[in-house]
Amino acid sequence: MPKPLLLKKNGFSLIETIVYIALVAVFSVGVIQVLLSETNAWGRARTERNLSDAATLIMERLSHEIRLAESVNVGASSLGVHPGRMALQTFTSATSNDPSSLELFLDGTELYMSRDAGAPTLLSGNGIEISNLVFYHITSETSEGVRVELTARLSWKGVVKEKKMTTAVILRGSR
């Protein structure tokens, strides 16, 4: 009696194919999760960097303008409270002795500067919100200064970042 021929098996069985597809799907989901996580981390880091850069720039501008001033107009300023308002008797530029007035104030969550009661100039921008702005008048026998407390906020995809900054500046016109 002749022996039955063994059939050669070509291709994959249905079970092997299903296992292969499941393994590829699990691996793909893992890779996608890692990519999404890295993208979100990069976005959060970029948001924090943008906030830090913008808050530093705002504080530098405030410091520069306050440093140029001759004196604080205490009667027209809101000191020690949020939202603060600072009115300064100043000069038109760092190299000028031409008198000028300057006002620093919040309108909602945006910081503005107005020179000689002119049109306000926006100091905060690019989505930066100022959630706290307080000015303090500092005086001594020989000098006059201003301390500024500022909290800036920036949102990105529901994540809110805040940066608190403080500086103190001596006025140019101090005795």
3-state secondary structure 110-169: EEEEEECCCCCEECCCCCCEEEEEEEEEEECCCCEEEEEEEEEEEEECCEEEEEEEEEEE
Cα 38 from Cα 41, distance rounded (Å): 5
Return contacts of 107-115, CB within 8 angstroms, 24+ apart. Answer: 109/153, 111/58, 113/61, 113/65
Return the structure tokens found at 55: 């808050």
pLDDT on residue 6: 59
Cα 106 from Cα 123, distance rounded (Å): 10
Question: Model's pTM, two decimal places?
Answer: 0.75
pLDDT on residue 80: 92
Please tell me the total number of residues recorded for the chain in this structure: 175
Taking a C-beta distance cutoff of 8 angstroms, is the pair 72, 171 a contact? yes
pLDDT on residue 106: 93
pLDDT on residue 42: 84
The ranges assigned to domains in the chain are 36-170
* Cα 28–chain centre separation: 36
Cα 99 from Cα 141, distance rounded (Å): 24
Q: What is the pLDDT along the chain (175 residues), one digit of tens a residue?
A: 666 655 556 777 888 889 889 999 998 888 888 888 787 788 788 888 888 999 999 999 999 999 989 899 999 999 999 999 999 998 877 787 888 899 999 999 999 999 998 899 999 877 899 999 999 999 988 889 999 999 999 987 788 889 999 999 999 866 5
Return the structure tokens found at 63: 């410091």
Order across the sheet with 71-72: list the strands.
71-72, 85-91, 99-107, 110-115, 121-122
pLDDT on residue 83: 92
Bridge partners, 89 (sequence order): 71, 101
Taking a C-beta distance cutoff of 8 angstroms, is the pair 89, 98 a contact? no
